[in-house]
Amino acid sequence: MQRVNSVEQLRQSVAAWRAAGDRIALVPTMGNLHDGHMALFRQAYKHAKRLIVSSFVNPMQFGPSEDYERYPRTPDADSEILRRSGCDILFVPEVNEVYPRGLAFATRVQVPGFSEILDGEFRPGHFEGVASVVMRLFSMVQPNVAIFGDKDYQQLLVIRRMATDLFLPVEIVGSPTVRAPDGLALSSRNVYLSEDERAIAPKLYEELRRVAVAIYTDDESAKDLQALETEARRNLRAFGFKVEYFTIRSANTLLTPSLSESELVILVAARLGRARLIDNTRATRP
């Protein structure tokens, strides 16, 4: 595995792959790798011969009161995981490599429609930061395919819309959420949970699954989507979560849906102690 820090090094390293016609996959990460990331790497090798993993904690997607400075960073452990995974290149740029004129003068990418709602409402500017850094990574790496986790479902739709609208020659592939045995979605921010909070955290996914089953039940009284959302928020608050949103949306548009749609997505964001947890699940018509 090569470890490179600059765009010039990166492009020199991949020039031979392109000349040979090898397909290249990119998995953008913020480091602190876990089994969820490993699943992304395995997915990447289903679509490409070469794998580039970027590790960059992107300051543009963090708000002023968020956890940029204390976001967990584990570079040595990450390198060992990537060596074992068969990664070809670990790309670890410094902030001034990604934003050479500083954040204040950096070109930004906006994706209207998907970016202002849900997480975009509670984290203003977050998806502008995500789209801006991913667009830079796509330009630096020029991959054939890029892999993103389904856990960050809204982010996945933002990136897909950006790639479509800007005619980017990169295939965007979603990878299923990886969960602990008790159902908690794996996330770097799970390290913020205390022992007691970690025992409560799986209730988030339990509530998602309960609502997913209820949506298409034969019991007509249970099909009021707003009532299902309200009940879920109440249940989660009773467990100690501070719920930002729990909502049922169209899986394709994130708009308020009707029951006639064949696939819905249920999304949640809630705080538990120091941790902000997000998760989602699909509900598909039988």
Active-site amino acid positions: 37
The three-state secondary structure class of 275 is strand
The answer to whether 251 and 191 are in contact (CB under 8 A) is no
188 touches 72 (CB < 8 A):
yes
DSSP 8-state assignment for residue 152 = S
Q: Which alpha helices (DSSP H) does the chain contain, by range?
A: 7-20, 35-44, 75-85, 95-98, 119-122, 126-141, 153-165, 195-200, 203-215, 225-239
Order of strands across the sheet that contains 242-250? 242-250, 263-272, 275-284
Residue 271 in tokens: 């705080």
